[in-house]
Amino acid sequence: MMGIVNFGTFLAAGILLNLTPGNDTIFVLSKSMAQGRRAGIVSALGISSGCAVHTMLAALGLSAIISKSIILFNAVKYAGAAYLLYVGWKTMRDRTGIGAAISGRNERAPYLEIYRDALLTNVLNPKVALFFLAFLPQFVAPDTQDTFLPFLILGFVFVATGTIWCFTLAVLASFISERLKNNVEISRVINKICGAVLIVLGIKVALTDK
């Protein structure tokens, strides 16, 4: 099928990998708990967009360049870690309660920022690029001359299943936080905890080798 082999195995493996807790899972859970269901869903869309970028990079062979260059790999890694630290610090300083209404001309801004944060933290994670580079080729037929289309199909199937899982996480996590949305003090504590988790995640990314 279009240069793809063992698609059923790929689908099952992809779903299991998506269910495995990782950086993206933690990010979506943190945003859902700190800022509610919509924020979680928007962050899931940002993560999915980042994975789509990595799919394109793998299909074009650019991920291989990143994997072979220590300088480029570390540059991307430290940029991603720094951005996670920034997002965590920003979340900790957020004084708004969970589910607080956003009105007027500022209505779109927070969600655009959440989408941007999720997108950049995923795109700036070289581990994701290496994952796509190592995982997708296993399901492309060895005799395929042009691997671009198989990479795209496999990548976007993986992104689709991952998006569904992230949406599920966002809804479940926000279900708990929405019960607390009228308690400003508890909301602020949750913001601080979620921000601290993102900061720890940023440190973890910075200290992780290839």
Reference 90, options 195, 208, 206, 203; nearest CA is 195
d(CA 190, CA 33): 7
- What is the rounded CA–CA span in Å between residue 133 and residue 210? 13
DSSP for 68-120?
Answer: H-HHHHHHHHHHHHHHHHHHHHHHHT--SPTT----GGGSSHHHHHHHHHHHH
Q: State the pLDDT at residue 31.
A: 87
Averaged pLDDT of the chain: 81
The C-alpha atoms of residue 59 and residue 61 are separated, in whole angstroms, by: 5
pLDDT of residue 122: 92
CA angle 58, 18, 39 (to 5 degrees): 95
pTM of the model: 0.77
Is the pLDDT at 210 greater than 70? The verdict is no
Per-residue pLDDT reduced to its tens digit, 132-179: 888 888 898 888 878 888 889 999 999 999 999 999 999 998 887 776
In tens, the pLDDT along 48-99 reads: 999 999 999 888 887 677 667 777 778 878 887 888 888 888 777 766 554 4
Higher pLDDT, 207 or 11: 11
Phi, psi at 182, each rounded to 5°:
-90, -5
Nearest CA-CA partner of 122 in 56, 40, 53: 53
- What pLDDT does 77 receive? 80
- Coil vs helix vs strand at 140: strand
Model pLDDT for residues 177-201, shown as the tens digit of each residue: 776 655 556 667 777 777 788 788 7
DSSP code of residue 142: T
The Cβ of residue 189 has, within 10 Å, a number of other Cβ atoms equal to 12
